[in-house]
Chain A
């Protein structure tokens, strides 16, 4: 059980590092938000569950923290992305699809 928990926690920290690397390297707010949300949610979930597996007496509270992260991290990043779009942060010049602009144009021509 100890070995399983250690391996799961190491995989989780690798995901956390990759998410932070995406935050540093990607070109746009929205791209960065995607990397920072998905990788970090999975990484934190695996890390906390791994610590819970290493010490079985801690498993209930570790599961509580993991489920809380799993529920609230997408909500906060959705709010941040919506705020960035409403406050007028432009897309990266290599982006090809902007469905919000398409929707606004379609609504004006109606």
Chain B
């Protein structure tokens, strides 16, 4: 029962972030939407580890968090002054 609550809330959140990603007028809007949905996806990976009882999903979530942090900083630097 609680699995349904978790996964439906997180799924609705990711769908809202994707709608903003499609609609956002400028590039900064889209970068913000991607950053937020990446954080939501990290929490989703940890929750999937709890649902399936697999410890490996926590490692996947940690690596995903590191990579999205580096990606967000790189996109911000590109928007600020070019590559």
Q: Give A residues with C-beta under 8 Å from B.
A: 6, 9-10, 12-14, 16-17, 19-21, 23-24, 29, 32-33, 36-37, 40-41, 43-44, 47-48, 51, 54-55, 58, 61-62, 64-65, 68-69, 72-73, 75-77, 79-80, 82-84, 86-87, 89
Name 12 extra pairs, CB < 8 A, besides A9-B47, A29-B28, A72-B69.
Answer: A13-B5, A21-B13, A32-B32, A43-B40, A54-B50, A64-B62, A65-B58, A65-B61, A75-B69, A80-B31, A83-B80, A87-B27
Q: Give B residues with C-beta under 8 Å from A.
A: 2, 5-6, 9-10, 12-14, 16-17, 19-20, 26-29, 31-33, 35-37, 39-40, 42-43, 46-47, 49-50, 55, 58-59, 61-62, 65-66, 68-69, 72-73, 75-81
- Which of these, A20, A37, A61, contacts B58 with CB under 8 Å? A61
